[in-house]
Structure 1
Amino acid sequence: MKFKVSHSQDTVKGELKITGSKSESNRLLIIESLFKNLQISNLSNSDDTQVMKKALTSNEVEVDIHHAGTAMRFLTAYFSVQEGRETVLTGSQRMQERPIQLLVEALRSMGAEISYEKNEGYPPIRIKGKKLQANSVSLQANISSQYISALMLIGASLPQGLTINLEGQVTSTPYILMTLEMLQRSGIQGSFEENTIRIEACSELSPKTIPVESDWSSASYFYSIAALAEEAEIKLSNYREESLQGDSCLATIYKQFGVETNFDENSITLKKSKCSKPASITEDLRNSPDIAQTIAVTCLGLGTACKLTGLHTLKIKETDRLVALKNEIEKLGGEVVISNDHLELKPSATLNKNVAIATYNDHRMAMAFAPIALKIPVIIEDAMVVSKSYPDFYNDLETLKFIVEKD
C-alpha cells in the first residue's frame, strides 16, 4: 500500500505518546523468560516485540521471527540454554541473508549445539538446547552489539556466570551499556570495564516492575519534523534525560538545526523558533547508526551537506541502508557518495516533487523520508512496513496536521 504524505502549514505543534523502546522491551522479555518475577510496563507495541513475545511462549519446533533481527540474535542465545528443547529458528528471505555465524561460533565455543539448515553462516539454524558449563567467551568487538548483548542476556543463567572478552574497538557501546543496565535493574550483577564484560550467575530474581522508556529512534522522526518546519513545538512522552538509549544523542545533534530539547519530569518538548540551516555537518554515528537515515533526509530537506561516518553495520540491516539511502535521495535530487562505513550528501537547491520512495522492507526508510513532506509531497511505498517498530506512526503524523492519503 502506498501513502502520499504532505503538509501545508509552516508551524507544527502537538503532543504525542511514543511506544516503548523495542530495544529495552526485547531485552527485558528475554530476562523475564529466563528468570520470571518481572513485570514490564510501557512495553513496545512494535511487530518486533510481538514476534519476540510469541517466540518465547511458542511450543513449536520451528520459530519464525520474520524480519526481526534483534529477535534472531537474542533467541539464538536463548534457545541454546533451553535444556532438552530443539528449535529451528528461521525468518524472512532477507533474514536468511543476514549473517549469524559470529554469534553461532561464540556459542559453539561455549558448548552450544547449533547447525545450519541451508547456507553456512546464515539462518535458518537448528539449536539443541543444553546446560552450558562454559564461563568465558571471546569475540571481535566491532561486530553488531546485538551479538554481544545476546551473550550478556544468557550469562546470568549459566552456573558460573559469564565473562565476555572483546577484541579490538567496541562498536555501539550504548547498546551494550543498555543491556547491562537492564540486567542490573532486574537484579542481576554485572560490569563492563575496558574490553571485558562480566555477568554474575543468578538463580532467582526478586519480584519487581520495570518501566520501558519510549523509543528514541522513533523520536528521531519528530526531531526531523521540527528541524524542517519553520516553527515547531512537539511534546513527546515518556522520555528521560538520563537515557540508556544511544539515540538520545539526537538532543545534541539537532541543536545544529535550531531544535532545542526541553526535559520535563517524564517527557521532552522539541522547540524550534528560528530558522537554522548549517552549510554542512559531520557526525560519527558508530554508537547510534539507526538515526543515520533520519539525519541524511533532514539535511537533504534543509539544503545542508553532510558526512556521516561509523555506518558499517548498516549494510546488514533490513536492507543495505547505505545503498537504499543513495538510491532514494538521488530520486529527490540530492547527490550521494557511499563507502562501507560512511555517507556523504551534496543536496540539491530544489527537490523533486511526488517522488515514490521505495522502502526495501525497512521501517526506517519509510519513517525517515516522511518528514520531508514538510517541503514537498512524497509517496511512501509499502508504507505499513513501519509496523515493525512504530505501528502508530501515520496516526501520529496526522495529529501533527500531516495529510496522509492512502492508496
Structure 2
Amino acid sequence: MGSWFNLLFVASMPVLKVLLITALGLFLALNRIDILGEAATNHLNKVVFFVFGPALVGSNLAKTVTFESFLTLWFMLVNILITFLIGSTMGWVLAKVTKAPKHIKGLILASCSAGNLGNLPIIILPAICKEKGSPFGEPNICERYGLAYASLSMAIGSIYFWLYAYNIVRISSKEVKANEGETSANVPVDEAEPNPPLHSSIYSLDAPRLSNSSTKYVQVTLSSRIKQRLTNISKELNLKAVLAPSTIGAIVGFIIGMISPFRRLLMDNNGPLHVIGDTGFMIGDAAIPCTTLILGANLLRGLKGSGIQSTTIIGIIVVRYIFLPLLGILIVKGAVFAGFVQSHDIFFQFVLLLQYSLPPAVSIGTVTELFGAGQNECSVIMLWTNVLAPVMLTLWCTFYLWLLS
C-alpha cells in the first residue's frame, strides 16, 4: 500500500505544476487584473505560434534525437497516429449522437483526437525522473531520455495536429462565417466551369475516326479536369498548414539532430556555432509557461459558459479519460507482445501509454483564436477537461507506474 502512495506522489507533482501555472493564467485574465485580457491573449497566442513553439520543438529535437535513437522510437509515430484515428472516430460518433451544431463538429473531433502531446509530456516526464521513488533509474539519464521522448512526441503530435486537427476546425469554422453572412471564397472551380461538350460526331455511328487534333482536345480536357480536382482538394484541406511554424521547427530539428556534422556544429557545447543552439533553447523555454498561461486565461471564458451541450462535454471527457486510456493499454501491450516495442524499456512504454491519457491539445484554442470561431465552446471544453486533468492524469500515471514497475 505504501508503494502505491509513493507512486501516487511521484505522478501528482508534475501535474500540480501545470495546475499552478494554469491558475496563474486565469488570475491574470480576471477583469480586475486585466494583464491577460482578450487582446493580450490573442497577441501572445501568435508569438507562441510563430516563435516560441517552433524554437521549443526544433531545439529539443536537435539536441536529443539522433538517427540511431529514432530507429528505436519509430513506434511512437504509429502510436500517436492511432490516438488521432481512434479519437476522431469516437468524436464523430459523439457528434452524431448528441446532434451537435455543424460549426462545432470540427471542434469536437479535434478535442477527441488531438491530445496535449507538447507541453504536458515535456513537463511531466523530466519531473517524474527527478522524484524519489521513480522506477525509471538514475535521474540524469532518465531526464535525458525523457526530454528525447517528449521532444519526439511534441514534433510528431505537431505534424499530425496541423495536418489533421487544424484542417477539420478550419473547415468547420466556415459554418460560422456563413451564418454571419460572410461570403465564402472557396467556391469549387468545377461548379463554375461545367464539362465542355464533345463534338456530336464522336457519338455518331457513321462518323469517321477522331483526328489527332480531336484526340489531343479530349486529352487536354481530361488532364485539365484532373488538375482542377486536385487543386480543389488541396484548397479544401489547406495542405500548406502541414508547413506550420512548429512543423518547420520539427523538420529543422530532425535535420540537425540526425546529421552529425550539423549537430556538432550547433548543439555541442564546444561547437563553433553553439550560441545559435543556446539561443533556440532560450526562446523555446518560454513556450511552455506562456502556453499554459494562455490556457488559464482561456479557461476564464469557460467559467462564463456557452451554448454547448453538457452531454457533449461529458462525452469528450469520457472519450479522453476513459475509452482512450483503456484502448491504449491494449495497443501498447500488443505492440510489446508483437516485438514492436522493447519489453525492458518501461520508460518508453510509459510515454506511449501517457499519450492516450492527455487532455485536448492547447493548440485547439490557438486555432479557434486564429479563425475567430468556436472560442467560447472551446473554452468550456478546455475548462472541464483541464479541471479533471490533475485527478485523471494522476490516477492514470499512478496505474501505469504500477503496471510497469
Task: Determine which structure has more spread, i.e. the larger CA radius of gyration.
Answer: 2
What is the TM-score with the length of structure 2 in the denominator? 0.25
| Greater share of residues in helix | 2
| Greater share of residues in strand | 1
What is the TM-score with the length of structure 1 in the denominator? 0.25
